[in-house]
Amino acid sequence: MLRSRYPSVLLAVAALLCLPGCNAFDRISSIGDQPKLASIENPTARNGYRPVTMPMPLPSLQDRQPNSLWETGGRAFFRDQRAARVGDILTVIVEIDDKAQISNETKRSRSNSNTANLTSFLGFETKLSKVLPTSVDPASLIDSGSDTSNDGKGSIGRSEKVDLRIAATIIQILPNGNMVLEGKQQVNVNYDMRELTVNGIIRPQDISADNTITYDQIAEARINYGGQGLIADVQQPRYGDQLYDILMPF
C-alpha cells in the first residue's frame, strides 16, 4: 500500500515544483538581456478583445448641408485635423496631483447598573433557601454592573503626482459619436522598462484644437503606470514570502 502511494506523492510534489519553475526558467534564460518590448499590433485582433458597449441615446438625424463649404462640427474653414476616425492618433495629457488627508476618531462609553430585591412576598421569601442556596439574601437578590469603553483613531495621508504625455489611437466609434481610445508606451532604460497604458471613452468635442485631451475628460479611464526589470524585481517580495503572506492567517 505504501509503495503504491509513492508515485502519486512524487507526482504531486513535482507538479508543485514546476509551477514557479516555468517562470524561473524563463527568467534564467533571459539573464543579461534587456526586457523585450512588445510588438506593435492591432488591439482589436488581440485575444480576449471585446468591443466596448455603453448605454446609448436614440440616434438623431443631422441636417445635411450639401451646398455648404463649412464642415459640420469643424473649427476651421479647412478640414479638421483632430482625431475623428478609427486609426487616428491624439495625445493624452496625464497630469495628476492629488492629495488626501483623512483623520477620524471615535469614542464610546457605557455604564450599566442593575439591582433587585425580594424582601417581602406573602411570606414566601423565607422559602427561598429551599430553592436557592442557603446563603441567599432576599434583600440583595441581584446586584450587577458593567462598564464599556471604546476609543478608536484612524488617519490617512496620501499624495500622488504624475506628469506624462502619451499618444493614443482611436480604436472604436460608438453609435452616439463617442470614441474609444487606447494608448501604450514602453521605455527601456538601463535594463529597466517603464510602461504606460491609457484606455477610455472620450467625446469628439473635448479634443482641443491641437489634437490633445486631458485625462480628466476620459470616461471609464484606465491609466496604468508601472514597470519591469531589475529595479522592479528587487522591489517585489520573493515568491515564498508572497505565498506565506497569503496562507498565514495571523
Select the highest-mean-pLDDT range: 18-22, 48-52, 89-93, 187-191: 89-93
For 164, the grid coordinates are 506624462
Among 209, 131, 221, which Cα is nearest to 183's?
A: 221
Alpha-carbon distances, residue 37 vs 163, 165, 184, 186 (angstroms)? 23, 19, 11, 7
pLDDT of residue 217: 95
pLDDT of residue 76: 57
β strands within the chain, DSSP E = 89-116, 142-173, 179-189, 192-202, 212-214, 219-229
Alpha-carbon distances, residue 6 vs 3, 12, 166 (angstroms)? 5, 10, 57
Among 37, 49, 98, 92, which Cα is nearest to 222's?
A: 92
The DSSP symbol for 79 reads -
DSSP for 114-133 reads EEE--S-STTGGGGHHHHS-
pLDDT tens for each residue of 83-135: 888 989 999 999 888 888 888 888 888 888 877 776 766 666 666 666 666 66
pLDDT of residue 66: 60
β strands within 117-178, DSSP E = 142-173
The average confidence (pLDDT) of the chain is 77
| Contact by Cβ (8 Å): 225, 196 | yes
pLDDT tens for each residue of 37-61: 778 788 888 888 888 887 776 665 5
pLDDT of residue 132: 64
pLDDT of residue 126: 66
The C-alpha atoms of residue 202 and residue 220 are separated, in whole angstroms, by: 9
Q: What b/e sequence results for 211-223 when a residue is b if at least 16 CB atoms lie within 10 Å of its CB, and e otherwise? A: eebebebbeebeb
The yes-or-no verdict on residue 63 having pLDDT over 80 is no
